[in-house]
Structure 1
């Protein structure tokens, strides 16, 4: 029996392995939740199809030195241990490091050290600067942005005063839409141009990142469904709003005019909390909507596989309906990809406009 107060070391050589028949049954059993989480979570590889994958560079700082190697060394060295609940789990080990649930730790005597009570990893964490799947998606999105706007800029430079052609004719209505329907109505004609570079960058970054996540067989990127990405975007909106705030804006937050004194002691904390709640809502809304779309599509894929294990007839019967609904969801997600980019940009513009508006007399 394991003592709850003591950490226990689990490694492949210390664990009694299940017999081959039981292992094959566990291997064949499909886990829908694990499949879905694997596809929407960040990883150190880009899974394409089957056993095909692109292994990304692992960059670690440990023992006062930088370690760089391919993540294939992890994924090709799988080991197993039995957790506190008696279930079999796997981890990866290489060169004095272990990877468990895509988190990298220093190896503890060649294995994973878990707390028997909480099941948490006791291994020492290392600084991980790896190029993960999400980082790769960000780099691809930025590269696409540079290519698109570089091409459009060269087109305007060559054909000054002429009608737009090619990619210009596609991008110009979108740029004018953000300026005329988002920035100017929300911020005002005099100040809109000041915020246009950020609003355009945000809109097209989110839109292209969303589209990237819908392209099949390239790894299932979930850039804007990752909290760390949306947190940075929301933090930038918060910083710009805070810096842009004028005397009128801060006066209404810290000491609202025309409000009785007792009410101010209630209203001011709410207004101050609102400064942080607004960008928080931006972050959660974008993350939840994009991740939910991926989960729904993957859930219907899992449904086909689950019924397929019950029998071929059940698999084909459910498969037809699931595929039709997945196609419908895919086209719906194309619309949502645009709408979420638009909503995030619109709300950011509204926050900027609220911070910069002048007092009305």
Structure 2
């Protein structure tokens, strides 16, 4: 009897110890502790775009039982928002969350990692980067800057921005001081615009003081937070320079290569999750924000077709001019353009025809309800 009790007790104790061992995360037993700092290009007040970088940090910690921690800092706390690429390249910080097209002054090829005029929408961009060879063709380019770039968020299609005066013809763009990011500034320069690249947190005072005549950021939700409607009445669409904006996690190449393979996969997974979450949040928040802006007096305007056609022509002229003098740009552009042609052929058949029909029916239903 006593012997049976002792054996039973030992079995219970052994089972309990085994269960405790199995329930403890395996990563906690073998993985090293890693501490990184993330410099963001965005202010903390923009919970969507800043939040994508913060989301990456939280997911990495959660998936590694806090063994791999990334502390996110908003623009300006470690380095200015438009200098985060330099900070990653020289190892001042391990990583940055940013929009790659901010750095086209270094090389216009950066734009393909973010957004280019009259380019791909969110799904097409995601397809190019994740499955269509886009990241592969950009890998060598980023290695030249001592960085690895991982897609980590997306805004979807953007608005065309806030203007103090109406834009009716191409001539109305001449001399216009316009805050606009990336390669689009070079395109608009061909049409007489004076492009200004200003970090998100600095746009409002520049627009309010008249230092600039117009500004674009992202879309209704963020633009409302930044208060642009208080200083510019006309809100134009579409943002033809950003059929979407892919956000990126720039990682110092040496630091990335030091990571255990498991941590690299965790980082990739967290970034993919941030892309889904950011797009979903914008899709929920933008419609309501646009309604509020219009109710408060914002005057919604489409860009005139004349302006759209001139911009399209200028964009592809500039692509060809840039490719002729920059072999790296040409290599990526040729790959991107070939992918774009195939995607457009497919999306015209299914996606666009479906969208056009259901949106036209929605318009008729809305008229009936009135």
- Whether TM exceeds 0.5 here: the answer is no
Give TM-score scaled by structure 1 length: 0.21
Larger Rg: 1 or 2?
A: 1
| Bigger RCO of structures 1 and 2 (CA < 8 A, at least 6 apart) | 2
Q: What TM-score results when the alignment is normalised by the length of structure 2? A: 0.20
